[in-house]
Amino acid sequence: MPSASDTIVAIATPPGRGGIGVVRISGSQARAIAKTLCGIEPEPRRAQLAAFTAADGSAIDRGLALFFAAPHSFTGEDVLELHAHGSPVVLDALVRRACELGARVARAGEFSERAFLNGKLDLNQAEAVADLIASRSEVQARAALRSLEGEFSRRADALAKLIVRLRVEIEAAIDFSDEASEGASKPVIERLFEDAANGLQALLAAARRGVRLTDGMHAVIVGEPNVGKSSLLNALAGNDRAIVTEMPGTTRDVLRESIVLGDVELTLADTAGLRESTDLVEGEGIRRARVELARADLVLRVVERTAAVASATLFDGTPPSATRIVIVNKIDLDGAPPSRSECDGALCIALSARTGEGLDLLRAALREAALGGERGGEFSARSRHVLALERAGASLQNARSALATATPELIAEDLVAAQRALGEIVGTFTSEDLLGAIFSTFCIGK
């Protein structure tokens, strides 16, 4: 297994040709490599023009060397960056030369992993680095930057400290059961439980929004045959992605398209028309449509007439947590104006997918659904964060429910479980297997 004490090297810029390419080296041998490969005595935080040389003294390239002395670097170790011309041949030659001088090629995400292990970033901040690199819209970039700056971590840490206070009160009741202190009184404990539960729910809602921002919202278009589902997908995507005909059952499989509406990304899934069918292929398409519906974050139920909106079965099979929007399509047929209203607890938007009338209302509604009505305070999050918060909430609820019946020792155990789940977010409690899974998703050189 590679050692964490090894000096590592990787190309830090994207594959392909460019004006500049960067090779990053981190570890105890970085300074010595700079002396040999660049022929300089590296000065911390100063760009130095240098000739990069091969083992026989021939020139590989000429560029800038930047040295960051430990612990004042991204990884917390000595770091050397070689800024060369962006030819893949040149960059590969620099990596090979660094390996000849004692480095080894870095694993995916190993630089960020070392930053975490050396206390330069917590685990959530390290993941935010990858989210920032992968961001595809301004709102995603801003959300990732907030996580990188510690917004999510601070809120999780504040909750963990509140649960520690609860543990202190509960364990005081264990240690001083014969002379209960005022601090361990039931009203104080109830208030702390209430504050912790409210804080967890608020953070969980924010984390779910963060996941939608990071991964994109999964929106599913459903409805009967020929109501305009594929036309709606094409209109939102801005191209003829789906085949549109007047023949019912044209769409047989799930068709997915990623779109960015302003600063929000969605994955739209067009599905087969929902109806009873004896056709084997169409029946399989309908089955897949129902599977897609069952895991949707947002459901766009397309109908043709406003009278159909009142149907109680419009959203059968929709997850309880999914946002529901009724699309009354084809308003161009009777000249009705586009509109937005509430109908039977769902948002209802009247539009024409063919002419584009009312699409602006739908785009605004989709953005609102993705952001959950929030503005300016979003941070990036991942599914594992949501799962950790859900486990913390369940443990906290178990502890609160047990107040009247269980012993303080059992309540304290549930509080420890809640604290541990929160600790998984920032990496206070994290298995090596989880670390490996997280950092293996990062790009090489980061």
80 touches 63 (CB < 8 A): no
Q: What does the pLDDT read at residue 245?
A: 44
**Length in residues, the chain:** 446
User: How far apart (Å, rounded) are the C-alpha atoms in residues 34 and 32?
Assistant: 5
What is the pTM (predicted TM-score) of this model?
0.71
Helices (H), 224-374: 229-237, 280-294, 359-371
pLDDT of residue 407: 76
Overall average pLDDT of the 418-424 stretch: 92
pLDDT at 91 over 90: yes
Q: Name the strand (E) or helix (H) holding 162.
A: helix 151-175
d(CA 167, CA 147): 28
Cα separation of the two ends of the chain: 20
Set out the domains of the chain in order of their start, with CATH numbers.
8-121 (3.30.1360.120), 132-213+382-426 (1.20.120.430), 217-371 (3.40.50.300)
Q: Which two tokens stand for residue 79?
A: 């770091």
Q: How many CB atoms lie within 10 A of CB 49?
A: 11
Position with higher pLDDT, 304 vs 350: 350
122-159 exposure pattern, b = at least 16 Cβ within 10 A, e = fewer: bbbbbbbbbbbebbebebbbbbbbbbbebbbbebbbeb
Q: What is the pLDDT of residues 323-337, one digit of tens each?
A: 888 888 888 888 889
pLDDT in tens, 233-292: 888 877 655 444 454 444 445 677 777 776 677 777 777 655 555 555 556 666 677 777
Helix axes 432-439, 123-134, angle to 10 degrees: 20
Who has greater pLDDT, 201 or 291?
A: 201
Q: Which residues pair with 325 in a beta bridge?
A: 300, 347
Radius of gyration of the chain (CA): 28
Residue 315 has pLDDT above 90, yes or no: no
Whether the Cβ atoms of residue 315 and residue 324 lie closer than 8 Å to each other:
yes
Alpha helices in 216-358 (DSSP H): 229-237, 280-294
Distance of CA 263 to the CA centre of its chain: 15
Do 338 and 358 form a contact (C-beta atoms < 8 A)? yes
Distance CA 413, CA 395 (A): 9
Tell me whether strands 339-343 and 79-86 are parallel, antiparallel or unpaired: unpaired
Q: Are 107 and 42 in contact (CB under 8 A)?
A: no
pLDDT classification of 176: cutoffs 50, 70, 90: low
Which pLDDT tens digit goes with each residue over 100-144? 999 999 998 899 999 999 999 999 999 998 888 888 777 788 889
Closest CA to 149 of 169, 161, 132: 132
Burial 163-176 (b: 16+ CB within 10 A, else e): beebbebbbbbeee
Q: Side chain identity at 385, as an amino acid letter?
A: H
* Reported confidence tier of residue 38, pLDDT bands at 50, 70, 90: very high
CA-to-CA dists, residue 410 to 168, 193, 395, angstroms = 14, 16, 11
From residue 428, alpha-carbon distances to 11, 121, 259 in Å are: 30, 12, 37
Q: Please indicate whether residue 201 or residue 300 has the higher confidence score (pLDDT).
A: 201
Among 29-33, 178-182, 360-364, 440-444, the range with the most confident prediction by mean pLDDT is 29-33
Quickly count: other Cβ atoms within 10 Å of residue 360's Cβ.
Answer: 11
